[in-house]
Amino acid sequence: MIRSTIIATLFSAALAAQCHPTIRQTTTFNEGWFCSTFTYCYEVCNPAPCVLPIRRVCVKFNLGTALLDSGSIQSPAGWSGTVNAGTNEVCWFADVNASSIQPNQCKTFCITTVCNPRGVEGIQTADFFSDRGVLIELGVRTAIAALGPHRNFLAGDAYATVGRQYDIQAASANDPFGQNLLLASPFALPTGMNVPGFGLLQLDPMLILVVAPISLDVNGIGVLPLQVPPSPQLIGGQLMFQSLAFSTLAPRLSNLKPVTFR
């Protein structure tokens, strides 16, 4: 019995060595007047040379899963998805073997953040398993599908406390180790102004301040700590942020990030 189990395990490992699944990530920024969200979709493909069907897919969120809406999970027919806060993963499981991702087949999975998220787009990784938990491959980096106008995101808390540090986060997943330039203004344009080659400028061009550069890491994510002066006069005021990302493709402006002082 033990010998047959060892042989089966070694055989499965040999088969898994021939498998290199791919995963393509598309992030959609759903901007709303009172509530903005991000929808993450993943196209998982099992290559033709692989003889093992994919039964489980786990996507790791390096920013955590606290802001993911577990009720928004979209799964292909015959699959179920769950959020695991302990491992910062969203895992999708095929309910039966017949629903597995067969060789030369692709399936799409999605999940949306809750209202006013801090989480932003970044390069993620996924683990793949076959039937009975047989490991196929670990740590497969997502390929970012550059769809839509938003490839540069700013995020942070809606409020900044006077006398305390405020962290603003930039993400530009197609630019690992890239550079963002953070801009600020007390005023925003009601509808924005399209700047050819840069995107939509939403800060009032009559008064734009250059705050500082933000360096991005290997995941295309960077955090800039800002020290808010301990001035009571700031309480109730608001500052608008927008960033400009530089890339090998084209520079682009981010979404507008308003911050209120309290």
**Domain map (residue ranges) of the chain:** 2-144, 153-261
Residue with tokens 């060595």: 17
- CATH no. of 153-261: 2.60.40.730
Residue 9 has pLDDT above 90, yes or no: no
- Which residues does 138 contact at the CB level (< 8 Å), separation at least 6? 127, 128
Q: Would you state the pLDDT for residue 30?
A: 80
| 207, pLDDT greater than 60 | yes
Close Cβ partners of 141 (under 8 Å, ≥ 6 residues apart): 123, 124, 125
Mean pLDDT to the nearest integer, 150-159: 78
Residue 211 is predicted with a pLDDT of 95
Q: Are 54 and 93 in contact (CB under 8 A)?
A: no
Q: Region 207-230: what's the mean pLDDT? A: 90
Q: Label residue 152 by pLDDT band (50, 70, 90).
A: confident
Quick one: pLDDT at residue 50? 92
Would you say residue 213 has pLDDT above 80? yes
**Which is more confident, 148 or 45?**
45
Q: Count CB neighbours of 52 within 10 A.
A: 23
CATH tag, 2-144: 2.60.40.2230
Quick one: pLDDT at residue 139?
Answer: 93
| CATH topology agreement for domains 2-144 and 153-261 | yes
48-52, 169-173, 230-234, 238-242: segment of lowest average pLDDT: 169-173
Torsion of CA 71, 77, 78, 80, to 10 degrees: -20
Q: What is the mean pLDDT of residues 173-201?
A: 88
Higher pLDDT, 45 or 249: 45
Judged against a pLDDT cut of 60, whether residue 37 lies above it is answered with yes
